[in-house]
Amino acid sequence: MWSVNSTIMAVTESIQSQYQSDGYFVARGVFKGDQLRELQSEFDRIIHALVSSGEDVNARWSGEEVNKMGAADTVVLHTHNVQQYSAAWTRAFVSEEFISAVRPILGENIILHHSKLFQKPSENGAPFPMHQDWEYFPTELNTMMAGIIHLSEADDEMGCLRVHPGTHKLGRLSGAMGGMTLSDYPIESAVPLEAQPGDVVFFNYCLIHGSMPNRSNRVRKTVLVQMHSGEDQVEEGNQHPNSRLCISGWNRNAKRSTGNFG
């Protein structure tokens, strides 16, 4: 009979093996019950605040690749750092339910770089052409990863994440962000990662990924959490929002200068 510790070790090794091989892992049912319902409610509350603000909150990409997908009129509502809107989301990021899903990949020391909300409206939700994320926020040890927390179901008709497994092993491809054509990795042949509310899809920032438009009659709701190891840090000169929030363990690169923003 296995002990609790040996069971945890076996699960950890399984997650690590798939993540290292494929560049992603789908954690099922991380959030559930009252916790999930609170996050769904707070998500909708943030959306209401965004729409009421009068700001331009449509984050649809422009350019040739989006136009090829017939998506020039599409919409995706977006904001950074949901933890600045709602304490419920801060609690979610530091919860054991979430951290225990991240720990097998990043270890005990985990730094929140930023979070961002995406709502793909029904019938005209915007796509994201195939790309890598590393150019937005490169880190010295390349531990940066994303976790997409699903507040609604996300199937292929709704424009769920699509990936080319194993492409993270290609490393950093120059010019592979912002919808540049990746002719060897078309979105049509990518693997759809369908999810249910409460599931979290984790993936490496060098994994080639994208999503199709939401042409269904359902709204797709997600919050993406960008994280890296506490042994790692973002390279000098990066201008992307960087919260540097230690959500587990210790930040080995924290210093007085990184804490002064005045």
pLDDT (tens digit, 9 = 90+) per residue, 142-176? 999 999 999 999 999 999 999 999 999 999 998 77
Window from 6-20, 37-51, 211-225, 227-241 with minimum mean pLDDT: 6-20
pLDDT of res. 1? 42
Which residue matches tokens 């424009």? 159
Question: pLDDT confidence of 181, banded at 50, 70, 90?
Answer: low
Beta bridge partners of 191: 163
* Residue range 234-256: mean pLDDT, rounded: 93
* Residue range 222-228: mean pLDDT, rounded: 98
* Residue range 216-235: mean pLDDT, rounded: 97
Question: pLDDT confidence of 4, banded at 50, 70, 90?
Answer: very low
Residue 97 structure tokens: 């339910």
Residue 105 structure tokens: 């990949």
pLDDT of res. 72? 76
Q: Taking Cα atoms as reference points, which of 223, 248, 228 lies closest to residue 83?
A: 223
* Residue range 178-199: mean pLDDT, rounded: 87
DSSP state of 11: H
pLDDT of res. 5? 59
pLDDT of res. 245? 96
pTM value? 0.93
For residues 163 and 190, the answer to whether their CB atoms sit within 8 Å is yes
For residues 200 and 145, the answer to whether their CB atoms sit within 8 Å is no
pLDDT of res. 73? 82
If phi > 0 it is left, if psi is from -120 to 50 it is alpha, else beta; for residue 127 that is beta
Distance CA 142, CA 128 (A): 23
- Long-range contact set of residues 10-17: C-beta below 8 Å, sequence gap at least 24: 11/104, 12/103, 12/104, 15/104, 15/105, 16/104, 16/105
Distance CA 125, CA 68 (A): 15
Amino acid at 26: V
Architecture of domain 11-232: Sandwich (2.60)
For residues 146 and 226, the answer to whether their CB atoms sit within 8 Å is yes
Window from 70-84, 91-105, 241-255 with minimum mean pLDDT: 70-84
pLDDT of res. 22? 98
Interval 43-95: pLDDT, tens: 999 999 999 999 999 887 777 777 777 777 899 999 999 999 999 999 999 99
Domain boundaries defined on the chain: 11-232
Question: pLDDT confidence of 6, banded at 50, 70, 90?
Answer: low
Distance CA 46, CA 87 (A): 12
pLDDT of res. 260? 54
Beta bridge partners of 129: none
Q: Taking Cα atoms as reference points, which of 76, 156, 160 lies closest to residue 117?
A: 76
Amino acid at 54: G
